[in-house]
Structure 1
Amino acid sequence: MLTQVTSPQQVFFAPQRLVVPLFQRPYVWSRELQWEPLWNDITRLVDAIAAGDSQATHFLGAVVLQTQQTVLGGLPQHTVIDGQQRLTTLQVLLDALHAELVDRGYVGLAGQVEGLVENGESFRVGVEDRFKVWPTNRDRETFAAVMSAPSPVDYRVLPAGRLRDAHEFFARSIASWLDSDASTADSRAGLLVPAVTTRLQLVSIQLQANEDAQEIFETLNARGTPLTAADLIKNFVFQRFDGTDEATEQAYLEYWYAFETPFWEAEVTAGRIRYTRSSLFLTQWLTARTLLDIPAREVFAQFKRYVNSSSGDVNALLKDLKAAADRYRAFTEASESHDGALDRVALFVYRISTLDSELAKPVLIWLGEREQAAITDDERDRFLGVLESWFVRRALVRVQSQGANRFIVDLLTTLSQRPAGARIDDVARDFLTSQRSTVGYWPDDAEVRRELVDLEAYRRLRRGRLRMVLEAVEDRYRGFGIDGQRPFSAAPVSRGVCTIEHIMPQEWRANWGDDTVNDTDRDQLVQTLGNLTLVTQSLNTRLSNAGWTGEAGKRASLIRHDTLLLVRNVVHEHAEAWTEEDIRTRTSSLIDSILAIWPVPQGHVSSTDSAVERAQYRVEVADLLRAGAVSAGAVLYAKPAAYRGSTAIVEENGHLAMADRVFATVSGAARFLQGGGTVAGWNFWCVDETLTRTLADVRSDYASGI
């Protein structure tokens, strides 16, 4: 290994090719985070030199290059192990500088730059030999177009992308800086060129062909834009791939390229952490393969350990990953269809997704692996019914989910070690009914009924999961999902599109006044399950709050706007009135349907007085929003004296926005201000400028039903 401090001129001057491996991520630097700060650093450097500081330099970071063997007479070639974002940005900057110098007639200065971005024609064999740096395959077309565009550059005809945007940014910045004072333009250009080419500094780490490039790559990956677990795993796998360059590229295109498409690069949330979907999938796949609970920070280390302890056949590993990824994408996209019947896997994924849970994904991946090939579709579907009941019932009684990741791993371990011939649905059922801890127990019928009968479901349950439950009841009314019965409707209800409507309106006082009722009791009752339904069209406020009878009444409005069976029984069996007793009766009936849709084994009792301590509600800011205890856009005020004056804004989803950042929890926002450590977020924030009422006070009132 040879390490030295160098400059862009020294790195790029010699005829050579610096090749970014196809398996590294594409160009991701941006104006706000990298281009603009770099340009500001360059202009400050020039100002320092102009002011007489002849030793002024600016350090850019490190690059790692590994020498590759080339045929005699060919261009020397190096693989870019780390620093491709810096090297690519420098090439774009130098090319933009060259173009602006040519436009202004600075031929000599332009000539000093040209040799740093292009290899001379006499050294070229292929078209790509023109370029000093050759990026990963996803960027090659745009890079080549941008770097070979004639001056003046017409950016409108270049392919869209970050590389074009970077070139345009630097070109416009250079032009603005050079033209800001016509009287000094010549001297400014004369300072800019040597400053960029010789006073920017890099640490160049040169590896020989037999040195461990992966170790260096992992050590330096935190520089610049952090790498995801998928980035690190991709680099690790293809560094180990045993084959020619052509075979490596073919394997990349066949097995990995799909991970760099929008579906897999989308950000998704699991718990309180945001991942790219590819990184989350790789975590879940690794969990399914190793039967270990793997924290996000350990995914790459665990992946290396898994590969090193298995056969080490990278080609077989890539095939397994691709097959699992294809299944994962298929059931994910199928679950997002709004209309038509879903197969059992897709329906399971849809319903679990409304619970904001990624916990079941390792189980689905495990089911699709070759070791489970003997499991029949019928056995799998029965198992998913058992697992779905466990998830939904726990969500309805709002059990805390802390520790559930470990619990799912324990379930998978139990399933993997089942006796020969044992069915996984039976094994899962026995495992779940045996649980007595808060993290694993399966709520029985009595507990679910006790929880739902008076629950202000509209306020206490998240809207997506409440809608899913009502959809499931509607589908049961249509005959879907009942063993041994054929549906008597053409299709299930559309998923995720209906709105939740109160039958007796929340604003009941205007047209439903009754001196004999207790206002507080009725306010609570209208939020319960029996007063809620799905409607296929939104009712306007006037119709929604109308009285029950008459042509302009709520009943007539529901008949006109809806065709669902959930509504039909209400409007046809209650022509004269909709009362408190009707709501209670319907609540009990809906609970009966819920218990039938998501059953537990006959005789199952989830707890006794001594076996299970009843789980406490986990209240979130989103719960307070739904209940009207706080409002979207509300300002929260930091209470500790050290942070007085700091505020956060409550967003519609319950997150807190502060200093151009968004936090999923009140403690996360507080830790950001505090700079880390442990903090009681609910007591940290107040809802009034006088700092007399904390969020903890609001939460306490909410939990007490005040």
Structure 2
Amino acid sequence: MDAGKATISGVFNGSRLLEIPFYQRAYVWGEEQWERFLGDMEFVTASKRPYFLGSIILKQESSGYTWSEVSEVRTVIDGQQRLTTMVIFFKALCAKIDANRLFERDFVLETGEVALRHGKYDRQDFEKVVNATGSEPVEGSSAIIGAYNYFLKNIDPEKVDRNTIKSNVQFVCIDLTEGEDEQQIFDTINSLGVRLTTAELLKNYFFNRENEQAFKDSWEDVFEPTAEKKSFWDQEVVTGRIKRTLIDLFFDAFLQIMVQDKARCVTAEDKLYYSRTSNLFQSYKDFISRYCDGGKDEVLNAMNAYAAVFESTFDPTCCDRNVPPAPSTERMNVLIFGLKNSTLIPYVLYVRKSVETPDEQAKVFATLESYIVRRMLVRATTKNYNRLFTSLILNEVKDAEALRKALEANDEATTYMPGDAEVRSAFEESCLYNLQSKGVLYLLESAIRPGMSSTALLGFNQYTLEHMMPKKWRNKWGALDEEAATRRDRKLLTLGNLAIITHSLNASIRDADWTTKKQGKGYKDGLALCAAGLATMAGALEKESWGEDDIADRAEWLANKALEVWR
């Protein structure tokens, strides 16, 4: 067995055929993985730094070719998804820039065959892709063809550079001889012990026997003084596609604040590199080496104060408790942890540390909440939130008026502030994800409910989303022609038809007619009990019927309330 670092050119060396065995599963990556892959390649191009794309396992086989044609054949034991995607990506890139000769130079053997040969499941479609001419989409429904057409549509040649990617993308390549047991090695690699967390790596990096007191002052007393405190920092939350601990989120946010300090003169390329959460440990080492003259004390000295502010600000369990009607850290926690906006964390931490008066902090949080909810309502992308919020730190935006001006002056399509007309339209027409709809209604409910209400508001996590007119309306709500049915199907997904209730209605009445669904049947409670007392349901449960006009009326009413809350 031989293991080592390899670039793309090292894996596809011009005379080696990589063969995916017939028994391996088909190509299964989808749009989520393609989007991430494309983002990684844009990052490599912009940062011009080495980027690790994982390990691959290859096994030597006798070639069956003459030496002049193919010098070696390797069976792909592990890594077919990444290798396949890499070849498809380069094929699409070369098609986009009308340079298929470059693709052939990198990935086609002297025999005329592409250096990656697929197994029985995908061979036909893979060959259709790699042999395509021109820059038109390829017809077909397989994941292989889907990947090619996705890259063909979404690659921006200004953001991806072929040579930069080739020289910086790296694999760990494990090369097995013919006699070695690939299954044993594969199983061993995939069943190794638990990886060290970022926090553990940083602890080992910062401290040694010579600075035990620093360890006690800057780490043990901060993150591990009691089991309860350690439990807080070890909480796991879902951010994007992965689970991360709070201590990991803290170190990420703390680094983003440090690198935005103008006095340090961190380059744009390095800021981009430091923004990647997958590089967090390496980013700290690199930042300290380049911008702190190798001294760790500067970082450690600033860390304690920020950790204390983080602990007093961020708490995922806020989603299990009722939140106040006024702008607050509790409402920020629902936005961040309940509605999955973790990119807010660095700027919120910066505001809590830098803005002295609670009143001004609340005003900043009001503007932030309005911004996030408005964009959520119009289904705007969150893709560039990280860049936006770190720019606010860079420009030392510490008060609500400065934040409002910064957001209003930002006219980029990916980060602009939606206006009132768009918000109104969104309540009437937008079909949000269930989590987003629940979040909008919950935060609106908490803001408009009477202070002397006899019913208590529960935590965000205690509510579920209910369609007042059910998705399966056809059995109990009357027949419509095809065009009208299509309009109804869309209308019932909009906010005017949605309610937050404390538990899901029994399936037997969820799809019932309006009277039964509202009043319940026998021991099965209906909306009148499950949603009674909610301010966002004002008047709806008194209606004797429920249809598209009622949905539109309630949407208008909700929009008016929303525009009062999220100015």
Name the TM-score class by shorter chain. Answer: 0.5 to 0.7
Letter in 1 for 2:564: A
CA offsets per residue over residues 336-377 of structure 1, 9 Å max, x none?
3523444701211212333322111001221233xx25x311
CA distance in 2, matches of 1:411, 1:350: 21
Alignment-derived partner of residue 220 in structure 2: 253
Shift of the 252–404 alpha-carbon distance from structure 1 to 2, 3 Å rule, reads closer
Give the alignment partner of residue 427 of structure 1, picking from 391, 402, 425.
Answer: 402
Q: Is 1:465–2:436 an aligned residue pair? A: yes
Give the alignment partner of residue 541 of structure 1, picking from 497, 507, 519.
Answer: 507
Shift of the 425–515 alpha-carbon distance from structure 1 to 2, 3 Å rule, reads closer
Residue 508 of structure 1 aligns to a residue whose secondary structure is: coil
Residue 323 of structure 1 aligns to a residue whose secondary structure is: helix
Alignment-derived partner of residue 498 in structure 1: 463
What are the equivalent positions in structure 2 for 1:50-199 lying under 5 Å apart?
none
Letter in 1 for 2:551: I
How many Å apart are 1:587 and its aligned residue?
A: 1.4
Structure number with greater CO (CA < 8 Å, separation at least 6) is 2
Contact 2:383 2:414 in 1 (8 A): yes
Alignment-derived partner of residue 569 in structure 1: 539
Shift of the 324–500 alpha-carbon distance from structure 1 to 2, 3 Å rule, reads same
CA distance in 2, matches of 1:368, 1:332: 11
Contact 2:223 2:230 in 1 (8 A): no
Contact 1:331 1:345 in 2 (8 A): yes
Contact 2:253 2:346 in 1 (8 A): yes
How many Å apart are 1:441 and its aligned residue?
A: 0.7
Give the alignment partner of residue 555 of structure 2, picking from 587, 606, 610.
Answer: 587
Letter in 2 for 1:328: F
Alignment-derived partner of residue 364 in structure 1: 348
Give the alignment partner of residue 523 of structure 1, picking from 489, 497, 502.
Answer: 489
CA offsets per residue over residues 468-501 of structure 1, 9 Å max, x none?
111123223314xxxxxx6656754432212222
Alignment-derived partner of residue 34 in structure 1: none
Contact 1:415 1:428 in 2 (8 A): no
Q: Is 1:558–2:527 an aligned residue pair? A: yes
CA distance in 2, matches of 1:507, 1:351: 31
Q: Is 1:509–2:490 an aligned residue pair? A: no
CA offsets per residue over residues 222-244 of structure 1, 9 Å max, x none?
x98654432332122214x865x
How many Å apart are 1:287 and its aligned residue?
A: 0.5
CA distance in 1, matches of 2:506, 2:278: 49
Q: Is 1:287–2:262 an aligned residue pair? A: no
CA offsets per residue over residues 246-271 of structure 1, 9 Å max, x none?
67556653234369934434444433
CA distance in 2, matches of 1:560, 1:269: 33
Letter in 1 for 2:547: T
Structure 1 runs not aligned, ≥5 long: 1-222, 417-422, 480-485, 600-706
CA offsets per residue over residues 146-174 of structure 1, 9 Å max, x none?
xxxxxxxxxxxxxxxxxxxxxxxxxxxxx
Residue 314 of structure 2 aligns to a residue whose secondary structure is: helix
CA distance in 2, matches of 1:582, 1:224: 58
How many Å apart are 1:567 and its aligned residue?
A: 3.1
Contact 1:530 1:587 in 2 (8 A): yes
How many Å apart are 1:274 and its aligned residue?
A: 4.5
CA offsets per residue over residues 68-123 of structure 1, 9 Å max, x none?
xxxxxxxxxxxxxxxxxxxxxxxxxxxxxxxxxxxxxxxxxxxxxxxxxxxxxxxx
Shift of the 410–524 alpha-carbon distance from structure 1 to 2, 3 Å rule, reads same
Q: Is 1:329–2:311 an aligned residue pair? A: yes
CA distance in 2, matches of 1:505, 1:434: 42
Letter in 2 for 1:326: A
Residue 441 of structure 2 aligns to a residue whose secondary structure is: helix
State the superposition RMSD in angstroms. Answer: 3.4
Shift of the 493–230 alpha-carbon distance from structure 1 to 2, 3 Å rule, reads closer
Give the alignment partner of residue 346 of structure 1, picking from 307, 310, 330.
Answer: 330
Contact 1:379 1:425 in 2 (8 A): yes
Aligned pair count? 354
Q: Is 1:532–2:498 an aligned residue pair? A: yes
CA distance in 1, matches of 2:323, 2:339: 20
Contact 1:415 1:427 in 2 (8 A): no
How many Å apart are 1:553 and its aligned residue?
A: 5.1
CA distance in 2, matches of 1:562, 1:331: 31
Contact 2:438 2:465 in 1 (8 A): yes
CA distance in 2, matches of 1:586, 1:335: 31
Residue 461 of structure 2 aligns to a residue whose secondary structure is: coil
CA offsets per residue over residues 627-664 of structure 1, 9 Å max, x none?
xxxxxxxxxxxxxxxxxxxxxxxxxxxxxxxxxxxxxx
Letter in 2 for 1:363: Y
Residue 509 of structure 1 aligns to a residue whose secondary structure is: coil
Taking structure 2 as the reference length, the TM-score comes to 0.55
Contact 2:375 2:418 in 1 (8 A): yes
Letter in 2 for 1:284: A
Q: Is 1:443–2:412 an aligned residue pair? A: no
Letter in 2 for 1:499: T
Shift of the 360–501 alpha-carbon distance from structure 1 to 2, 3 Å rule, reads same
Larger Rg over CA atoms: 1
Give the alignment partner of residue 231 of structure 1, picking from 183, 195, 200.
Answer: 200
Contact 1:338 1:495 in 2 (8 A): yes
CA distance in 2, matches of 1:562, 1:570: 10
How many Å apart are 1:434 and its aligned residue?
A: 0.6
Alignment-derived partner of residue 676 in structure 1: none
CA distance in 1, matches of 2:349, 2:395: 16
CA offsets per residue over residues 298-352 of structure 1, 9 Å max, x none?
4334434554645988667546423323332333336535234447012112123
Shift of the 378–334 alpha-carbon distance from structure 1 to 2, 3 Å rule, reads farther
Contact 1:355 1:395 in 2 (8 A): no
Shift of the 288–307 alpha-carbon distance from structure 1 to 2, 3 Å rule, reads same
CA distance in 2, matches of 1:506, 1:288: 46
CA distance in 2, matches of 1:251, 1:471: 39
Letter in 1 for 2:539: N
CA distance in 2, matches of 1:335, 1:597: 24
Contact 2:323 2:459 in 1 (8 A): no
Alignment-derived partner of residue 410 in structure 1: 391
Structure 2 runs not aligned, ≥5 long: 1-191, 261-270
Contact 2:518 2:541 in 1 (8 A): no
Letter in 2 for 1:255: V
CA offsets per residue over residues 113-142 of structure 1, 9 Å max, x none?
xxxxxxxxxxxxxxxxxxxxxxxxxxxxxx
CA distance in 1, matches of 2:480, 2:239: 49
Letter in 2 for 1:476: A
Between stretches 427-436 and 502-511, larger displacement belongs to: 502-511
Shift of the 560–511 alpha-carbon distance from structure 1 to 2, 3 Å rule, reads same
Shift of the 432–246 alpha-carbon distance from structure 1 to 2, 3 Å rule, reads closer
Letter in 1 for 2:408: T
**Once the two structures are aligned, what percentage of the paired residues are identical?**
27
Shift of the 551–270 alpha-carbon distance from structure 1 to 2, 3 Å rule, reads closer
Contact 1:237 1:314 in 2 (8 A): yes
Residue 443 of structure 1 aligns to a residue whose secondary structure is: coil
CA distance in 1, matches of 2:319, 2:236: 20
Shift of the 505–490 alpha-carbon distance from structure 1 to 2, 3 Å rule, reads closer
